[in-house]
Amino acid sequence: MLVEAGHFALALALGLSLIQFVVPLWGARSNDPVLMAVAPTTALAVLGCIAFAFFALTVAYVTSDFSVLNVVENSHSTKPMIYKISGVWGNHEGSMLLWVLILALFGGVVALAKSSVPARLQANTLAVQAAITIAFLLFILTTSNPFTRVIPAPAEGQDLNPLLQDPGLAIHPPLLYIGYVGFSISFAFACAALIDGRIDAVWARIVRPWTLGAWAFLTLGIAMGSYWAYYELGWGGWWFWDPVENASLMPWLAGTALMHSTVVMEKRDALKVWTILLAILTFSLSLLGTFLVRSGVLTSVHSFAVDPARGSFILGILIIFIGGSLALFAWRAPMLRQGGLFAPVSREGALVLNNLFLATACATVFVGTLYPLALEVMTGEKISVGAPFFNATFLPLIVPLLLLLPLGQTLAWKRGNLLGTAQRLYAVFGIVLLATMALLAFRHGGPVAAPLGIGLGVYLVLGSLNEIVTRSWSKEKGLSMAWRKAAGLPRSTWGTFIAHAGVGLTVIGIAATAWGVEGLGSLKVGESLRAGAYEARLERVTPRVEANYREDVAVLTVLRDGREMGTLETMKRLYVTRGMPTTEAGIMTIGLGQVYASVGEMQPDGSVGIRLYHKPLVLLIWIGSVVMALGGGISLTDRRLRIGAPARAKAAPVAAVPAE
């Protein structure tokens, strides 16, 4: 009964969204505040309906109601509770429901942010938001309905894909979707500004927190997905340049550019048209990602052609929204008041460079991801574009950006002095040079890329630290004063430096992968295998049975220079219901590095194949990402940004205090 009520709520949400789309637009056009006031209450009602529908589906999963087809296909009564819940979004239909839920959630938050968004902008934004909601609700109801029933109900479900039965993947999609869908708000604000034909620094300040929040979540989501792939797929890689990964990287790159360009717009009233375009492109790339992942086009170009309902529906959504918003842009953008130009050597000049490099890097990822698909559709020739392509195109564009980063954040607004800025970084240059030389000498004979990359990472971290120090420290005033001054720096400044330091940490982690070593062998009990300084001895292989799988556990003792560091377990699992085998890697964290083992096949002679890796500093990749997101979060709490943030009635919109 609850299931049917949830289904009906979804249908109601569709009707409400239609109202939310039409009425506020009409109100804004005819200048009628009463009609505009319909937008927030309707947005909240839509949120209520979709949240109820989601709740109903979750209850169906938790109680294992196998009269719901979606539950039958993706759940099982013996599955642990956490995976029953995460199973709700561990499948196509449920994940699309989560998608619209988050969309409605953002709409609801905009609706509540009365004190920080002007009424007209709010009405137009919510109308655009409603258009997206309509499209996706129709998609769910007509092609991907999670509430389809099977009567009579089967006695048991078919279980969730074992690869998805993992805590990492339980929280990965929600984080990623908050990121993806969060950019819909920037998009809606951009379209609203175009509809209204007016845009200024206030707009930028209103949009920035949304972009920042979405960006922080997307960063976490991507990092989480990468860590999941690292330990779950069992071969130790953390980024594969797989189209699914690229689909989330592209909006991230564009979103990063957007975040920086809104700063320029807010501070200098420049780059308006570009910022609007970027907001549109960022969400378009989010939609593209949704299309790539959800239409089945990646599984097979042919399967897309064979079962066109879903794929072509999303393709339609893609074309309508990207085409529509770009058309709106082409029509209205020339009417926007142009912003001022500025000196090339200045903070804003550096930010333009940042945008340029990020957008170009994003474009190369775009080409690398879509070219194989396009080629296959047109000529039937199948190619694979993998890591070598992206290493050859993406890296040369990102490295100069990273080299410029500390310089850029040190430059002054309006008119900078390149030489003076470089002087402020002398100490940093010195330390980095020394550190790199020392690494090169110390790791004599190793790959050259690692010390250079680590040097770059250290340079980023120290550059940020240096900036905080030079801003607060002066010889005469002493340490305590410096401390107070540092604490008094605006939160957004701290956020910037923390995020940039996070980039540095990630770069160090990535560079250090070049030092990773691996060993491979078939071991009998008691034999051992070496990877670099570490050694693993096979202690025993034992079978084990859990509620929904059985596994063979290989227990290894890890040794370094003959000293025991502990044991780790790596498993070969067989999930009973689907008859699907998986490998679970065994990981031991030592400092920031990890020893990683995965088990292969059992040989007839009783030995097992073991692959052993030592990955120094590998954790920094994800720690850095979390630090980046943290920087975004800290920036978000800045008082001067609160004007655009929701649910803060005591917001103090201090408008004219520059960052310096």
Partner 1 sequence: MTRKQRRLTLIGVAGCVLAIAIGLVLYAMNDTIVFFNSPADIQAKNVQPGTRFRLGGLVKEGTVVRGSDQQISFEVMDAEATVKVNYKGLLPDLFREGQGIVAEGVLEQPGFFRADTVLAKHDENYMPREVADTLKKQGHWQGEAQAAPATQ
Partner 2 sequence: MVIWIILLVMTALAVMAVLWPLSRHRAIAVQVDPDTQFYREQIAEIERDLKRGALMPAEAEAAKAEAGRRLLRATGTHSGETAAVGEPALRRRRAVSAFALSAIPILALAVYGAYGSPHLLTHPPTAQVRQQTEQLDLMRAVAQIESHLAQNPQDGRGWEVVAPVYIRMGRLDDAAKAYEAAIRHLGPEPDRLANYGEVLVLAKNGLVSAEAQAAFEQAVKLDRTSPKARYYLARAAEQDGQVEKAKAGYSELLAMSPADAPWTAVVRQELTRLGAPVPEPQPALAGQGGAPQIGAEDIARMVSGLASRLEAQGGTAEEWVRLMRSYAVLGQRDKAIEAAKRARQALAQDEKALETIDTMARELKLTDAQP
Where in 116-145 is the site for partner 2 (CB under 8 A)?
117-120, 141-142, 145
Q: Does 650 bind partner 2 (CB under 8 A)?
A: yes
When the beta carbons of 42 and 91 are compared against partner 2, the nearer one is 42
Q: How far is the CB of 24 from partner 2 (least distance, A)?
A: 10
Q: For 197-242, where are the alpha helices, taking DSSP H only? A: 201-232
Q: Does 161 bind partner 1 (CB under 8 A)?
A: yes
Interface with partner 1 (CB under 8 A), residue from 299, 441, 526, 543: 299
Return the residue matching tokens 């607060």: 472
Q: Which does 7 bind (CB under 5 to 8 A by kind): partner 2, partner 1, none?
A: partner 2
Q: Does 435 bind partner 2 (CB under 8 A)?
A: no
Q: Does 651 bind partner 2 (CB under 8 A)?
A: yes
When the beta carbons of 149 and 537 are compared against partner 2, the nearer one is 149
| Residues between 367 and 396 that touch partner 1 (CB under 8 A) | 367-368, 371, 381-386, 388-389, 391-393, 396
- Two structure tokens written together for 251: 């909006």
> Cα(238)–Cα(433) distance, rounded to whole angstroms?
29
51: number of CA atoms within 13 Å, CB side?
12
> Cα(545)–Cα(628) distance, rounded to whole angstroms?
41
Q: How far is the CB of 200 from partner 1 (least distance, A)?
A: 21
Q: Which does 30 bind (CB under 5 to 8 A by kind): partner 1, partner 2, none?
A: partner 2
Whole-angstrom CA distances from 476 to 427, 473, 479, 480, 482 are: 20, 9, 9, 11, 10
> Cα(143)–Cα(121) distance, rounded to whole angstroms?
33
Whole-angstrom CA distances from 31 to 83, 165, 530 are: 50, 52, 75
Whole-angstrom CA distances from 123 to 113, 211, 328, 329 are: 12, 19, 18, 19
Other beta carbons less than 10 A from residue 612's beta carbon? 28
When the beta carbons of 543 and 562 are compared against partner 2, the nearer one is 543
Question: Closest Cα to residue 283, out of 137, 135, 423, 144?
Answer: 135
When the beta carbons of 328 and 517 are compared against partner 1, the nearer one is 517
Interface with partner 1 (CB under 8 A), residue from 2, 59, 119, 353: 353
| Residues between 218 and 237 that touch partner 1 (CB under 8 A) | 233-235
| Residues between 31 and 50 that touch partner 2 (CB under 8 A) | 31-38, 40-42, 44-45, 48-49
Which strands make up the sheet holding 563-575, listed edge to edge? 528-531, 534-545, 549-560, 563-575, 580-584
Q: Does 520 bind partner 1 (CB under 8 A)?
A: yes
Which one of 82-90, 431-439, 514-522, 560-568 is the stretch in contact with partner 1 (CB under 8 A)? 514-522
- Two structure tokens written together for 135: 């499209």
| Residues between 153 and 182 that touch partner 2 (CB under 8 A) | 153-156
Q: Does 16 bind partner 2 (CB under 8 A)?
A: yes
Q: Does 652 bind partner 2 (CB under 8 A)?
A: yes
Question: Closest Cα to residue 514, out of 488, 532, 495, 541?
Answer: 532
Other beta carbons less than 10 A from residue 391's beta carbon? 11
Whole-angstrom CA distances from 82 to 78, 125, 330, 349, 352 are: 12, 36, 48, 49, 45
Draw the binding track, 563-582, toward partner 1 (x: CB under 8 A; -: no contact): ---------x-------xxx
When the beta carbons of 200 and 527 are compared against partner 2, the nearer one is 200
Interface with partner 1 (CB under 8 A), residue from 84, 172, 205, 611: 611
When the beta carbons of 543 and 591 are compared against partner 2, the nearer one is 543
Q: Does 275 bind partner 1 (CB under 8 A)?
A: no
> Cα(64)–Cα(67) distance, rounded to whole angstroms?
9
347 backbone dihedrals φ, ψ, rounded to 5°: -55, -45
When the beta carbons of 309 and 449 are compared against partner 2, the nearer one is 309
220 close to 626: Cβ distance less than 8 angstroms: yes
Whole-angstrom CA distances from 166 to 85, 232, 422, 614, 623 are: 12, 8, 48, 23, 20
476 close to 375: Cβ distance less than 8 angstroms: no
Which one of 10-18, 184-192, 281-289, 503-511 is the stretch in contact with partner 2 (CB under 8 A)? 10-18
| Residues between 136 and 155 that touch partner 1 (CB under 8 A) | 154
Q: Does 235 bind partner 2 (CB under 8 A)?
A: no
- Two structure tokens written together for 285: 């790339």
> Cα(242)–Cα(272) distance, rounded to whole angstroms?
34
Q: Which does 384 bind (CB under 5 to 8 A by kind): partner 2, partner 1, none?
A: partner 1
Q: Does 8 bind partner 2 (CB under 8 A)?
A: yes
When the beta carbons of 76 and 640 are compared against partner 1, the nearer one is 76
Interface with partner 1 (CB under 8 A), residue from 33, 80, 302, 433: 302
Interface with partner 2 (CB under 8 A), residue from 4, 307, 564, 660: 4
Q: Does 648 bind partner 2 (CB under 8 A)?
A: no
CA dihedral of residues 620, 624, 630, 634 (deg, nearest 10): 130
Q: How far is the CB of 608 from partner 1 (least distance, A)?
A: 10
Q: Which does 611 bind (CB under 5 to 8 A by kind): partner 2, partner 1, none?
A: partner 1
- Two structure tokens written together for 344: 């090339």
Q: Does 501 bind partner 2 (CB under 8 A)?
A: no
Other beta carbons less than 10 A from residue 235's beta carbon? 14
Question: Closest Cα to residue 471, out of 496, 454, 449?
Answer: 496
Question: Closest Cα to residue 415, out of 495, 332, 477, 343?
Answer: 343
Draw the binding track, 186-205, toward partner 2 (x: CB under 8 A; -: no contact): ------------x-x-x---
Q: Does 653 bind partner 2 (CB under 8 A)?
A: yes
Q: How far is the CB of 610 from partner 1 (least distance, A)?
A: 8
The contact set with partner 1 (CB under 8 A) reads: 154, 158, 161, 233-235, 298-303, 341-344, 352-353, 356-357, 360-361, 363-364, 367-368, 371, 381-386, 388-389, 391-393, 396-397, 520-522, 572, 580-583, 598, 600-601, 603, 609, 611
